[in-house]
Structure 1
Amino acid sequence: MRRNTIAILILIILLLTGCSRVTHNTDLENSIQSIVKDKNKVQIKIDSLANFEWDKGFLFTPYTTEESMEKQMGVNFKDRSKIYSRDDIYLLVFLHNEKVVQYVEINRNQSDFSICSKEYISPLKALITINRH
């Protein structure tokens, strides 16, 4: 009986931590990098690349602090990329139902990125502009 209780508790803990994990989406990262490398491309259409559910995407510039990201997104976020001390990447963070679900590090590769004057992108308006140096 005691073993069953322990096994059930372990299973519950694994399920709960598995459901709240934020994924570093390297497949999407690689797709974005392929587009950036093509000098003829000036936009990234995220809606055609993202194969997961999301409703908001926030693009953060180098040196953005966790506090600033949390304030803009309205949710807690543990920045594993350490963008607050880096100038070589942009960070694209995806939310679904007001929870962070995935993030992507976009290498600058002599480029800057923008979502125009919008606060965030959505699946219906999911364009990121590439500004090459």
Structure 2
Amino acid sequence: MKTPQALAIVMALLTSACSSVDDSVSAAIGNAVREKHAQEIRIAALTDFEWEKVYLFGPYAPRAHICEVLGVEARQCERIVPFESMDDGVMSLAFVSGTQVVRYARHSRLNGDFTPVANRQPILASEAVFKVVPSGLAQDGRPWVKLVPKAI
């Protein structure tokens, strides 16, 4: 009787592991914007993987829309885009090399607010430079920082 339960637990863990969400990019951005006297961030300097361009998707962006923009086939969509933002505080970053999505990351807006999302997308790695603009406090009292595209 314990075997089916153990199997169910193992399957649940494996399923969740296959659709793990990367928050490390968001954490790196957050650390950079909170550095003393931070005036700008270069996303390429904050990542430890190769990419050519990044797409920013605001809160509540539907997975189907994201996959359409990224050119991901419907049958691969859930694997490539493992989550949808379901609240105001979370957005998504999709890093692309060639035609391949190399990283899809959840980004907490408390780590730097990219909204409103730039109309001109994708953003090339060399141009993914943002001004750090302090913008008051979040509801919980933490500093709120806007990340504004810097003209290159």
Query: Aligned pairs, how many?
Result: 112
Shift of 1:130: 4.9
1:44 partner amino acid: I
Q: Is the 8 A contact 1:28 1:104 kept in 2?
A: yes
Uncovered stretches (5+) of structure 2, i.e. residues with no partner: 1-17, 137-152
Distance 1:22 1:99, change over 3 A: farther
TM-score under structure 1 length normalisation: 0.66
Q: Aligned-residue CA RMSD in angstroms?
A: 2.8
Which whole-Å CA distance do the structure 1 matches of 2:88 and 2:101 have between them? 23
Residue in structure 2 matched with residue 88 of structure 1 by the alignment: 89
Q: Does 1:105 align with 2:106?
A: yes
Residue in structure 2 matched with residue 3 of structure 1 by the alignment: none
Shift of 1:70: 1.6
TM-score under structure 2 length normalisation: 0.59
Write the deviation string for residues 68-126 of structure 1: whole angstroms up to 9, x where unpaired: 1122222243232321x222112111112211111222211285315644211112211
Residue in structure 2 matched with residue 36 of structure 1 by the alignment: 33
Select the residue among 49, 52, 57 that pairs with 2:49.
52
2:42 partner amino acid: K
Shift of 1:23: 7.4
Which whole-Å CA distance do the structure 2 matches of 1:25 and 1:33 have between them? 14
Q: Is the 8 A contact 1:91 1:106 kept in 2?
A: yes
Identity of aligned residues (%): 24
